[in-house]
Chain A
Amino acid sequence: MKTLQEIEEIRKTKRKELDLRINTSSDTREKHILICHGTGCTSSKSPEILKRFREIIKEKNIENVRVIQTGCFGLCAKGPIVIIRPEDTFYANCKVEDCEEIIEKHIQKGEIVERLLCKDIDGKKVQKLDELSFYKKQKRIALKNCGVINPEEIDEYIAFDGYKALEKVLTQMSPEDVIDVITKSGLRGRGGAGFPTGKKWELTKESKGDQKYVVCNADEGDPGAFMDRSILEGDPHSVLEAMAIAAYTIGATKGFIYVRAEYPIAVHRFQVAIDQAREYGILGKNIFGTNFDFDVDIRLGAGAFVCGEETALLESIEGKRGQPRVKPPYPAQCGLWGKPTLINNVETYANIAQIILKGAEWYSSIGTEKSKGTKVFALGGNVNNIGLVEVPMGTTLREIVYDIGGGIPNGREFKAAQTGGPSGGCIPKEHLDTPIDYESLKQIGSMMGSGGLIVMDDTKCMVCLAKFYLEFTVSESCGKCTPCRIGTKRMLEILTKLCEGEGTELDIYKLEKLAANIQKASICGLGQSAPNPVISTLKYFREEFREHAIQKECRALECKAMSNITINEELCKGCGLCQRNCPVSAIEGESREKRVINQEKCIKCGTCLTSCPFKAIGN
C-alpha cells in the first residue's frame, strides 16, 4: 500500500531519473538503451539482444548505462529496434551480434554505428527517431508511453504522470465532472463504431443496478491489426488507470479485460500491471484513501473474431459460447450477468487519463469537427513502412500511405486501401485525399474500424480481395443467425465462382441481393458488416467484377483460373528464361526464337511473368 504522498514522491524521483528518456538535451551522464519488446521485435529475438547488452555491460564493467525493455516503437518492419537515449539514436534491424559494436562504438566512444541506422524514404540514413519521416506526421497520445517506459515497472508509468488522473478524479471530481470532460473532449469509441464515449459512460452511469461492471475489449481480431496489442504491451497501466476512472464514474467496483490468449505478452504485462497496482493499493479497497473500491481480472478469449462484438464478449466472459445478443437492450442497461456494463476498447481507454489531465479543450483541439483526437492504425500490405502509426484525425489517406508509409514498394501503383478489416471497405485511388475520420470514411463506403489499414497495389484483384474477407467472415461467423451463417457462405461460393471464371452477371446481382439483406437482417455488427468488403469493391471496382463474370478475365492476374498468360511477340527477345523456369514445360519455341505458351499445359503459376527480364509476358 502506498499513500498519495508516497506515490507523489515516486513520481518526482523517478521522473528526474527518467528525464533522459524524453529530453534529448538532458545533461545526464547516464545512457538508456531501449529495446523494443513488442510482439514483433520479440519474435525477432529482442529479448536475446537485451540479454547480450547486459552481459557486455557487466563484462566490460560499464557504468551509467541501463538496458530497458519497452513497448512498440511503431516501425515494426525495421525491428528489432534499439534506441539510445538521451541522444535518441535509432538503430534498426539489430542482431545479437551487433550489441558489441553498439557498446564499443556508441556507448564507449560516442560514435554512431552508421550501418545500423535506418534509411528514410529518400534513401538517406537517419540518425534520430524523430527525424524519420515515418514519425514526422504522427502524434502520440494513446501510444505516448510506448517505447518510452518499461511496461513492467509501475514506477516508470507513475513517473510520466501515471495514476495522476485517477488521483485527480477520486479526490477532486464528481462522476458528473468526469462525464462532462470526456463528453466535451469529443472522444469516440476506438473499437470501430465511434459511439461517443462520454455518452456511453453517462448511459451506464444512469442505469440502475446493485452491481455494475467495467469491461475492456482487447479482443482485437481484424486481420493485420495490432493496435490494442501494442498498447497493452507498451503501456498497460494507462488502460488500467482509465478502467478505474470509468468504474468510479459509472459506479462499478469490478472490471474485466477480455484479451485474446494469442497475445501472451500483452496478457503477461497486463497481469504484472494488475499485480503491481494491487501492491500499491491502486486496485483494491479504499483506493487513495477514498471509499472507492475497484479491482480488475483478466479473461482470456480463445480467438473467435465474434467475441470482439461486445455482447458476444459478455457471453464469453460469462462462460458461454461466444454469440452476440440481440440489441437493445444495450450492455449499458443489461450487460454482464444482466447488470449495467460499460465496455470500451483498449485504445479508447488509453486516451482517458490524458484527457483528464490535459483537459477537454486540449483534446478537442486535435482532429476534425466530429472526430477528435488521434487514431492508431496498423499499417500493412503493399507499403514500404509497415508498422503502427498514430495520427491526428483528419490526416488524409495519402499522407498515411505516402508520407508516413513511404509509398508503394517496387514502384507499383496504389490501387486501394482497406480500412476496418473484414467489416470495412476499400478506398480507391480517387479518394486518397479523404481525411480519415468516422464520417468521411463512412461516406465513401468504408469505416474507421479498429484501425487496420491494408494498402494494396495494382497486382491485387478486387474480387479476390472481397473473397478473402468473406472467407474470413465465413470462418469467423458464430453461426447464430441465418443471414450470417448461411448467407455469407453463399456469398463466398459466388465469389469463388467468379474467381474461377465460372460466374455470370446474374451472380453479381445475387451477390448484391444477399449483401443488402445480410447487412440489414443479421443480429450483430459482424454479420451486418460482413458484406461491406463486397459492397465497397462492387462500388468502386464493378468493372473488374464484370470482367470476371463476362469476359472471364482478371486484370490483376491474380485469378489463376482465368488468366491466360501470353508472350508479347514484339517484346520477346527469345532469351528462353521463361522456358527454363516453367515448371510444366508449357513454353514452346526454339533457341533464340520468340517463345509461345501452350495454354493447354499452362497452370498459370506466374513463374514466367516474374522471370521475364523484358516484361514481355502478361495477359
Chain B
Amino acid sequence: MENEFVTLTIDGQEVKAKKGITILEAAKQVGIDIPTLCFLKGINEVGDCRMCIVEVEGRRGFATSCIQTVEEGMVVHTHTPNVLEARHVILDLIISNHSKDCLTCTRSGNCELQKLATKFNVLNVEFEGERTQHKIDELSPSIVRDFNKCILCRRCIAACKNVQKIGAIDCINRGFESCISTVGDHSLNDVNCTFCGQCIQSCPTGALHEKETIDDVWIKLKDPESYVIVQTAPAVRAALGEEFQMEIGTNVTGKMVTALKRLGFDKVFDTNTGADFTITEEANEFIERFSKGGTLPMITSCSPGWVKYIEMNYPELIPHLSTCKSPHEMFGAILKSYYAEKEGIDPRKIYVVSVMPCIAKKFERQREEMKNSGIYNVDNVITTRELARMIKQANIEFTKLEDTNFDSPMGEATGAGAIFGTTGGVMEAALRTAQDTLTGKDLEKIDFEQVRGGEGIKKATVNIAGNEIKVVAASGLANAQKIMEEIKSGKADYQFVEIMACPGGCVMGGGQPIRSSKERAEKDIRKLRADCLYSIDEKSTIRKSHENPIIKKIYKDYLEKPGSHKAHELLHTEYEKREKYNI
C-alpha cells in the first residue's frame, strides 16, 4: 500500500498522492493550504471544527479533508464560494462564543484562532449571541484553564487521553453547554492530572496556559534584601530562541545568560550543573542497588509529572523509583547550603528561580519533600515561555544580544548535563558515569546511540565492566504505563529505566514554546531541539558528570562522596502513594 499512488484533481491541479493520505496532505503537496483548527497531526484527527471542509464532486455535503483519504479520480475543490462561505460562518460561530479579549491574552500573537480571524478578515461577528460562561480554574500550581476561550477542538483531550493515556479531561455536558472538564467538574488540581502540560502544548488558543509566576520574580528582583539566583534547565536553551522567531533548535545559551543578567538576577547558574549532581548520585544509587541486590529495575525520578503519575497509579512500584531529587531541586539545595555558606549569605534571603521547560516543576517546587531546614530548595519555577515574556517586558532585543557565560563557580556543567533535556539523555549520562565507576577507568566510549532518537520506548543492552545491563528509556506517560505493566507482571528483565513524562523528553515539555498545528505537522520539532542538546554535548570539553570540577570540589569539600549521609539529606527524598482524586 505504501508504494501505491492515486491520481486526483485538487483545484484543477492533477495530484499524484500516496494512497491512504488525507485530502489535506495531498493539497499541501501542491501548495494548497486548507485551514484547520481541531487538527493535530497524529494526535487529533476527528474533523470536529469543520474548518477544513472541501467539496468533492459527486459527494453530498462537504468532505472533511483532515480525515478523508484520497481516492483515484477524486475531484476536489478547496475554495468554492460555498466552501468559503461555510468556513466563514463556522469561524464566525466559533468567535461568537469566544471571550475575544486578545489584548490581555497570553496567546496573543501565537493563537491559531486569532490567525484565522485575521486571515478571514473577520471584522465583525455576524452571529453574536449568548456565550457560555465558565469559571476559571486556577487552583493548581501548574495549569490555568479558562474555558471562556475554549473552542472545543478537543486537542487537549486527545493529548491527555490518547497520547498520555491519562484521561484527566474530557468533554462534559452536551450541545452548546459542552465543555472540557474533569471527573465531576472538579479542579484539575484535585484529579488525576500529572501536570505534564501536553494539553497546553495542544491548545490552539489561550484556554489552557501555565500558572504564571513572573510577577513574583519581578518583585524579588526589585527587592534589595533578596539574593536572586536563576538557574536554567538544559532544554530551555534549545527552544527559547523560538519565542524570538529564531529557527527551531537554535542554541541560545549565551544570549539567554546575557538576558538573564540584564534582567537583574544576582547570579545566573546552569541547571546542567544540578544534572551533573543528579547523575553522580543516581549512578551511585544504581551501582549500589545493582551490586547489593537492591530493588531493580531502578527508575529515574527527575520528571515531576512522571513522579506524580507513579505516585497516583503505581504506588506499589515506588520502591523502584530513584530517591534522587530532580536536578534543579538538588541544585537549589546546594545553593542554599554549600553556596550560601561559602558566600556567607543567609539562605533565607536566597531566592532561587528555576527556568524550566516544564509546568509540573511548578507543582514539584511546592512539594513538602522539596525542603531542607524548613525552606524550599527552589522558590519559583517559570517556564521557557514565561522567561521569554520577561525578556520582552524588559524591552531586551534578544536576537541582538552578545553571548556571555554562566556565572562561576556554579555555572560549570558537562555535556552529560545538557542531554538531560531529551529522552534517553539521563540514561546516557548515567551510563557514562556508571561505566567509569564500575571499571575504575576513564572510558572513551561514551555515546550510547541505542537510547537516542524519538521512539517512545528505546530498549538496549549495554556491557559495563563485564556486566550485561538492560536499560529502557521511555518518554510519554502512555509508554511509561507499558513499562510499569511489564514491571508489575514480572516480565521486565531490565535493570535501569529512564522515564520522561513528556513524549520526547523535556525539549517537548509543557513549558516550552508552543508551535502551531501546522508546524507540528511539517517539522520534527523534537529532533531539532534534541539535536541542539546533542551538539552542545558533543562540543563540551567535559562530557561526564562525575568529572565536572565543581562537582568534584563540592563532594570533596562538603558532601564527602556520592550517597553520603549529607548527600542524602540534601539531594535525596522519598515518595509515597498519592490519591488520584481529592474530591
The residues of A with any CB-CB pair to B shorter than 8 Å are 304, 321, 326, 328, 474-490, 493, 510, 513-514, 517, 519-523, 528
Contact = CB atoms under 8 A, between A and B. Distances in A.
Interface in B170-190: 170-171, 173-178
Contacts of B97: 486
B126 interface: yes
Contacts of A478: 174-175, 178
Interface stretch (B43-51, B276-284, B405-413, B531-539): B43-51
Contact of B93 (A475, A482, A528): A482
A528 B61 contact: yes
B50 A479 contact: no
A522 B50 contact: yes
B93 A487 contact: yes
B48 A523 contact: yes
B130 A493 contact: yes
B130 A489 contact: yes
Given A480-B46, A480-B178, 16 more contacts: A304-B174, A474-B176, A477-B174, A477-B176, A478-B174, A479-B174, A479-B175, A479-B176, A479-B177, A486-B176, A487-B89, A487-B127, A489-B176, A493-B129, A493-B130, A520-B82
B61 to A, nearest CB: 5
A138 B176 CA distance: 42
B90 interface: yes
Contact of A482 (B50, B67, B85): B50
Given A483-B93, A490-B93, A521-B90, A326 B174 contact: no
A486 B178 contact: no
A510 B127 CA distance: 8
A522 B62 CA distance: 9
B545 to A, nearest CB: 47
Interface string B34-60: 000000000000111110010000000
Given A321-B170, A517-B86, A520-B86, A485 B175 contact: yes
Contacts of A475: 174-175
Contact of B175 (A477, A517, A519): A477
Contacts of A326: 46-47, 64, 67-68
B286 to A, nearest CB: 42
Contacts of B176: 474, 477, 479, 485-486, 488-489
B6 to A, nearest CB: 15
B53 to A, nearest CB: 6
> Do most interface residues of chain B lie in helix, strand or loop, or is the interface mixed?
loop
B50 A486 contact: no
A99 B145 CA distance: 65
B108 interface: no
The winner among B61, B85, B127, B175 for most chain A CB atoms within 10 A is: B175
Interface size grouping (class) on chain B? 20 to 34
A617 to B, nearest CB: 36
Contacts of A490: 93, 96, 127, 129
A287 B68 CA distance: 40
B156 interface: no
Nearest to B37: A482
A488 to B, nearest CB: 8
Interface in B50-92: 50, 53, 61-62, 64, 67-68, 82, 85-86, 89-90
Contacts of B47: 326, 481, 523
B152 interface: yes
Contacts of A520: 61-62, 82, 86
A522 B86 CA distance: 10
A585 B50 CA distance: 54
A513 B176 CA distance: 19
Given A493-B130, A510-B127, A479 B178 contact: yes
Most chain B CB within 10 A, of A474, A480, A514, is at: A480
B171 A483 contact: no
Interface string B380-400: 000000000000000000000
11 contacts: A326-B64, A474-B176, A477-B176, A481-B47, A482-B90, A482-B93, A485-B178, A487-B93, A490-B127, A517-B86, A520-B82
Nearest to A497: B129
Contact of A485 (B89, B129, B152, B170): B152
B94 interface: yes
A297 B254 CA distance: 67
A523 B50 CA distance: 8
A510 B152 contact: no
Contact of B89 (A483, A489, A493): A483
A520 B68 CA distance: 16
B50 A483 contact: yes
A304 B93 CA distance: 24
Contact of B171 (A304, A321, A517): A321
Contacts of A481: 47-50
B86 A482 contact: no
A514 B62 contact: no
B550 to A, nearest CB: 54
Contact of A521 (B46, B53, B67): B53
Given A475-B175, A493-B129, A521-B62, A486 B68 contact: no
Nearest to A518: B89
Contacts of B177: 479
Contacts of A486: 93-94, 96-97, 127, 176
A560 to B, nearest CB: 22
Contacts of A528: 61
Interface in B87-117: 89-90, 93-94, 96-97
A479 B94 CA distance: 12
Contacts of B85: 513, 517
Nearest to B61: A520
A486 B98 CA distance: 11
- 10 shortest A-B CB distances, which residue pairs? A479-B178, A477-B175, A486-B93, A517-B89, A489-B176, A326-B47, A490-B127, A493-B129, A521-B86, A517-B86
Nearest to A528: B61
Interface in B109-135: 126-127, 129-130
Contacts of A304: 174
A423 B513 CA distance: 45
A46 B202 CA distance: 58
B179 to A, nearest CB: 9
Contacts of B96: 486, 490
Nearest to B64: A326
B50 A521 contact: yes
B89 to A, nearest CB: 4
Given A490-B127, A493-B130, A482 B171 contact: no
Contacts of B178: 478-480, 485
A351 B206 CA distance: 54
A310 B129 CA distance: 31
Nearest to B127: A490
Contacts of A474: 175-176
Contacts of A514: 89, 127
A521 B94 CA distance: 14
A12 B175 CA distance: 54
A328 B175 contact: no
A528 to B, nearest CB: 6
Contacts of B90: 482-483, 517, 521
A485 B179 CA distance: 11
Nearest to B96: A486
Nearest to A486: B93
Contacts of A479: 152, 171, 173-178
A486 B132 CA distance: 10
Contacts of B64: 326, 523
A475 B97 CA distance: 17
A489 to B, nearest CB: 4
A304 B129 CA distance: 25
Nearest to A477: B175
Contacts of B61: 519-521, 528
A192 to B, nearest CB: 15
Nearest to A476: B175
Nearest to A527: B50
